Amino acid sequence: MFRRLSVVESIYVNSVSFSSVLQIGDSSHITPVTQALAVKREYPLFFSNEGNFNEYSVFTRPIPAVSIEESFNMATFNEKPNIKVNTIRVTGASASSVIHIGSTNNIRAEARIKHIRQLLDQPEDMSISKQDQINSQLEGPSSSEEGGA
């Protein structure tokens, strides 16, 4: 690993969450992984046993590997061996992000998030109760929800 000295006067980070990394110093490999179901319901009724990742292909599909087929030559010259920064301010890092001061060989971050919006149907027959609408939508994922992230 090529080494340069990172000099940071001060860093302010408000929040690091959901498999994110704040790394100060050198590392060899960083591999944060997040899987999440983000469900927004017009009527906020949730049960503790909901959410099976295996029901959605976005969580099981392989991520295509990028292969570099062509060769190339690269030469670098660093006039100064130090990277110097006065202040870094970060509001938040979430869902497999990396804040890194230092050198690393490899970072492979993966975030798979399925967003689902469940809105109440507008009934043609106004005699259908709101509770009946809610109950029919809570029966599980429909085929139209099975898309990508």
For residue 103, is it within any domain?
A: yes
pLDDT at 131: 64
Structural domain count of the chain: 1
Is residue 73 domain-resident?
no
- 27: how many CB neighbours lie within 10 A of its CB? 17
pLDDT the model gives residue 138: 62
pLDDT of residue 67: 85
Domain that holds residue 108: 5-68+78-142
pLDDT bin (cut points 50, 70, 90) of residue 28 is: very high
149 domain-assigned: no
147 inside domain: no
Is 58 a member of any domain?
yes
Per-residue pLDDT reduced to its tens digit, 78-112: 888 888 999 999 999 999 899 999 888 899 999 99
What pLDDT is recorded for position 149?
45
* Confidence (pLDDT) at 2: 59
Q: Is residue 126 part of a domain?
A: yes
Q: What is the pLDDT of residue 143?
A: 47
> Is residue 58 classed as helix, strand or coil in its secondary structure?
helix
In a domain, 98, yes or no: yes
Helix (H, G, I), strand (E, B) or coil at 135: helix
Asked if residue 148 belongs to a domain, the reply is no
Three-state DSSP class for residue 53: helix
Q: Residue 11: pLDDT above 50?
A: yes
> Model confidence over 105-143: pLDDT tens digits?
899 999 999 998 888 876 555 555 666 666 666 665 554
Helix (H) or strand (E) segment spanning residue 118: strand 110-118
Task: Summarize pLDDT for 42-82 with one digit per residue, the tens.
Answer: 888 888 778 888 889 999 999 888 888 888 888 888 888 88
